Structures are given as C-alpha cells and as structure tokens.
Amino acid sequence: MDANNGGQATDRTQAETWLAGKSEQDYSRRQVLSTAGLAAVAVPLVASAKSGATRKAASLVRRAGKSSAPQPEQVHVQYGADAASQAAVSWAAPAGVARPRLRLGRPGHGHGLEVHAQERTYTEALTGETVWTYHASLDGLRPDTQYIFEVTHEGATPVPGMFRTGPSGRSGAFRFTSFGDQAIPAPVGMGLGPNTPNAGFIVPAVESQDPLFHLFNGDLCYANVSDQPVATWTSFFTNNQRSAANRPWMPSAGNHENEVGNGPQGYLAYQTRFELPDNGSPEFRGNWYAFTVGSIRVISLNNDDVCLQDGAFSGFRRDNVPGYTANGDNPYINGYSSGAQRAWLERELARAQHSGDIDWIVVCMHQVAMSSAHFNGADLGIRQNWLPLFDKYGVDLVVAGHEHHFERSFPVRGVLSGSSLLTPAPQSSDSALMDTSLGTVHMIIGGGGHSTPTPASGFDMPHDGVLITSVGPGSPLAQHPSITTTEPAPWSAYRDLQTPYGFASFDFVPHEPGGTTSITVTHYGAALRSPVYAPLDTFVMRKSLNGSRREAHTAGATAAS
C-alpha cells in the first residue's frame, strides 16, 4: 500500500529541480482582505437537490474518456505539515487503476512534473464494497505560490485542480474558512442519512470567499448511519470537489466518521480517504495532526477519544454489519488511544508555544467544551482532558461543530470559582474585540447542512449552558444515554437562535501597525433551501506580537472568579 516511498524521494528531487528552473511570476493575491466587506454571498443555484448539485459544477464535468477505464473522481487537496512547502492531492476511482499519477505545474507553464500516487484501499464492512483511493504527496514547493495540477491514470481523462501554498512566516495575510456537520445535498440509498440542499449551497458559498484553505470541524457526511455508506462518501466528495479541488479542505474526525466495523475504531474510511500530516502513530494516522500556515499552527483533534457521549452508535450498522457481535464491534470508543492523543497534543502545544515563528494556535475539533443548547450539550470529557492544556499553552481559537448552530464564547481560561462542572471562566466581556492572550475563544460552527439543525426551542431563556456529565448503561447493542445538567453560561458572547446554516470566514493579518496581529471573523448564515449566505455576525481577535503567548499564559490554569 505504501510501497512508493523511494519514488516519492525521487519526486521531491525532481520537484525541486523543476521548480527551481521556473521564473517567479507576479500573481496577485487571491485574498482581498481589505475589500471583502460584509456583502452577502449570493450563491448561484447550480442545480436542485433532486438533480444532484454536483454533477453540473464546472470542475466536475467529465470529458469523454479515452477508453472504458474508470475515471478519477472525488478530488480534494490537503496541506502537509508545512503548508508553505507541502501538499497532497487525493482522489478515488470506482475500480483499481494502473499508473495513478499527478502532473504538477504553474499557471502559464503547463504541467511539467509527474508524481506517482499511492493506492490505498479499504473494504466497507456493511456492504463488502472495496474503495480505491489515490494520494500524491508533494514536497519542496515554493511558499505563497499558485500551483495547478491534473490527476490521471492509465486510460483516463485527466481531472484538473489547483492550490496555493501558504506564506512563509509572517510574510502574508490570508483568509481561511470553517464549518462542520455538512452531510450531503440529496438522499442516497434508503435516505437514512441527513441531507439538505444547503449541504450543496454552502460549497460555492465558501468558494466565493476564495479562502487559502478550509477547516472542516467533523461530521463530514454521516456515512455511519446510511445503508449506502460508500455512496454517501462519494456524494460528499463529489459535492465538495468544486472547492476542495481548488484549495485544501482540512478535516477533523467527528463522531459520525466512526463507522463501526471499519477498522478498530471505525475510522478506516476516513483514514483511507485523506492524506493528512503524519502524527507519528501509524495505527491512528489522520485522527489527529498539525500543520503550520504562516504564523498559525493548526491542530486537528479527534474528540471521541475523550468524550463521554456515545455519539457514533448506529442502529442500522448494529443490525446489518455482518458478524457485528461475533467481531466484537463497538462504536463507543472513549479512551481508545490510551492517552496517546493527549500526550501528542501536549508535545505539539509545547512546541508551538516555544516557537518564535508561531503567533496563533488554532484547534479544529468536533464536539464542544461549551454549548447553550439542549441538543447534544457540551462534553465534560473535553473540559477534563483538553482545556487544561489549552490554558497552559495558550490556544487562541477553537473551531468546532457537533451542535448544529452558531455560537461563540468570550476568551476563557480556568474555571468559574467553585465550579464542580469545570465551567470555563470568561476573561473579558467585549463581544466585538477580543484579546486571545487572555484566553481561548471557542466557536461552534455546526450549520454545514445537516437536516436537523438545533431548534430555537433548544435554547433556554434566560441563558443556560448544557453539559453532558456522564452516560447511563449501554452496550455495543444499545446506545448509552447521555446524562446532562445545566450551568451558568457567562462565557457565552453570541449565539444565533434562528439561522440554521452557515460558515465562518477568518481574515488573518500577521502583523499590524503598532505591533499587533489579528483575525477578523465573519459568520455567514442562510435559511433552509436558500443559497444566499448573508453576513450575520462579526468580531475581531487581536493581540500584541511581543511575547503574546509565552508571557500571557504562564499562569494559564489559574482559577478565575
């Protein structure tokens, strides 16, 4: 499966040689930060849900094949650990193919370099289908540079895409975007999985923002509740190819990526389909990872390792995966890494904290540390396992999903005095301008497209937080029920009770006059079946560049009142 390491080493040398021979071109910046404003994003209605929103997108139009060979599909880009020099392009094919490869180029220069792709397969436990995926890893790229590529194999018609590498250090401003809980734009199979037209509409809405990259906060397509999980993944990647073939979409694994029976923790499809930065644990590849883009260190976590909630249970898979009981299949995987993820996280955070090149730490994860909705609720396991580390090492921003609405916190650090629930303590009360050297801003951006958004009736008035504190009896055959409680929510800075769907954009400026750095956030929201995503909320995170993290977080875990 990973038999091409020698070839990759050769490819890197070829890449460096080829790229060094190209003259630098003056590409205008794709991120127009100063003029982006707050205009609504009018998304062209490319197709109805019934007709399949993705098949008409320009990047997906298949030219006639040269033969009967299966065609590349589901193309998507990822960054490597260093976004300035590393990327990977992944795709799938409906059958095994010969000579899978990527041709890399620069606009105006054609495709000058050919890179062999690795084949990775898995067999879906529910249906017995084998899925073929291909991954071309690229290294030695130039910072802040636009690349074009096409992926192909023997007998196929090439499929094009592009991406831009990250700037080096503090050399450039850029935009990124984020949401979670997307699902798919139209039903597949028996229609058991969530689907809405908005799961289609949000893709061109994100694309219209021209982000450098996108953070996907878990619960990608909900294949674990479908009778046709492979077709669900195909729908998901086909729908998103309109953007994900043009810029990296970097995921975190949510509870619905756990497809019980597919590998020890159910993540085999997720792990096979993505090519993500190495985390040093082959058995948990892709479940958690980190990458640097500009002066931001992004850390992706898999929260099912620490969450109390039994969130991956699927009655359909329990009843229909062959050998479910005999195989010992169990979707409840709390504690599955035996502390390996937490140890890795602390090493990563310590390294970022002490790096002179990192000004911001952004965590992308799925389940949340705070929520004011009676939907899932926040999870005490996250507070116990992650928040002390976020405090100690000065995480600036957390983007999450799981709760299917939009909500954000003040900067939080420590816990409310005397709180047995570890309720995070706000460190400021300005909801428009926040200094993240004081604490971590948490955002719930869970309106990607799921057909069950958090209802307005799920919010207490006045304002309570909702927390899962434990689970009741359960088994691989019966889901553990969540046991929840309510709590004060002084951490809550803003919540949207009315708008079911949306995403956030983040305009990052690495240094400003006066010695500060900032991220300006805008949340774009849309109604059900509306392709128009309008700006509904905006705020700024700003802090000093002078020792912002290292000094401010020395007393990180001190309890606050």
Among 255, 409, 423, 451, binds Fe ion (CB under 5 A): 255
- Between 219 and 348, name the residue whose CB sits nearer to Fe ion: 219
Q: Is the sign of the CA dihedral 405, 410, 413, 419 positive or negative?
A: negative
Residue 272's φ and ψ, nearest 5 degrees, are -75, -35
Span near Fe ion by CB under 5 A; candidates 124-132, 252-260, 263-271, 300-308:
252-260
Is residue 402 near Fe ion by the rule CB under 5 A? yes
At position 302, the amino acid (one-letter code) is N
The least distance separating Fe ion from the CB of residue 543, rounded to whole angstroms, comes to 31
Nearest CB to Fe ion, comparing residues 186 and 444: 444
What is the β-pairing status of strands 441-445 and 516-526?
A: unpaired
Compare residues 409 and 454 and give the one whose CB is closer to Fe ion: 454
CA-based nearest residue to 182, from 466, 505, 536, 500: 500
The string of DSSP codes covering 206-232 is: HHHT--SEEEE-S--S-GGG-S-HHHH
Could you tell me the smallest distance in angstroms from the CB atom of residue 219 to Fe ion?
Answer: 4
Q: How far apart are CA 201 and CA 242, in angstroms?
A: 11
* Closest CA relative to residue 314, chosen from 142, 444, 219, 193: 193
Contact window for Fe ion (CB under 5 A) among 42-50, 181-189, 320-328, 433-441: 181-189
Please choose, out of 20-28, 61-69, 211-219, 477-485, the segment that lies near Fe ion by the rule CB under 5 A.
211-219
Stretch of residues binding Fe ion (CB under 5 A), selected from 60-68, 88-96, 176-184, 481-489: 176-184
Do 307 and 332 meet the contact criterion of CB atoms below 8 Å apart?
no
Exactly one of 119, 139, 181, 379 binds Fe ion (CB under 5 A); which one? 181
Instruction: Single out the segment in contact with Fe ion by CB under 5 A; choices: 78-86, 353-361, 402-410, 425-433.
Output: 402-410
Smallest gap, in angstroms, from Cβ of residue 25 to Fe ion? Answer: 42
Smallest distance, Fe ion to C-beta of residue 193, A: 11
Beta pairing partners, 147? 163
**Dihedral angle of Cα 235, 74, 134, 89, to the nearest 10 degrees:** -140
Per-residue interface string for the shown chain with Fe ion, residues 47-86, x marking contact by CB under 5 A: ----------------------------------------
Q: Is 310 in the site for Fe ion (CB under 5 A)?
A: no
Cite the beta strand spans of 302-379 per DSSP E. Answer: 360-364, 378-379
Provide the minimum distance between the beta carbon of 367 and Fe ion in the complex, in angstroms, as a whole number.
6
Nearer to Fe ion, 371 or 440 (CB): 371
Report if residue 219 touches Fe ion, rule: CB under 5 A.
yes
Question: Should residue 403 be labelled a site residue for Fe ion when binding is judged by CB under 5 A?
Answer: no
Q: Binding to Fe ion (CB under 5 A): which residues in 136-175?
A: none
Residue 175, Ramachandran bin (φ over 0: left; ψ between -120 and 50: alpha; else beta): beta
In this complex, which beta carbon is closest to Fe ion, that of residue 152 or of residue 499?
Answer: 499
Site size with Fe ion, rule: CB under 5 A: 5
CA 468/CA 437 separation, integer angstroms: 28
Question: Considering only CA atoms, which of 45, 24, 11, 12 is closest in space to residue 144?
Answer: 24
Does residue 517 touch Fe ion according to CB under 5 A?
no
Smallest separation, CB 139 to Fe ion (Å): 34
What is the three-state SS of 132-168? EEEEEEECCCCCCCEEEEEEECCCCCCEEEEEECCCC
Least Cβ distance, residue 310 to Fe ion (angstroms):
12
| Residue number with CB closer to Fe ion (293 or 378) | 378
Peptide bond into 94 cis (omega under 30): no
Is 254 a binder of Fe ion (CB under 5 A)? yes
Angstrom distance (rounded) from CA 224 to CA 260: 7
- Enter the DSSP assignment of 119: E
496 binds Fe ion (CB under 5 A): no
Least separation in angstroms between residue 402's CB and Fe ion is 4
Which residues here bind Fe ion, judged by CB under 5 A? 181, 219, 254-255, 402
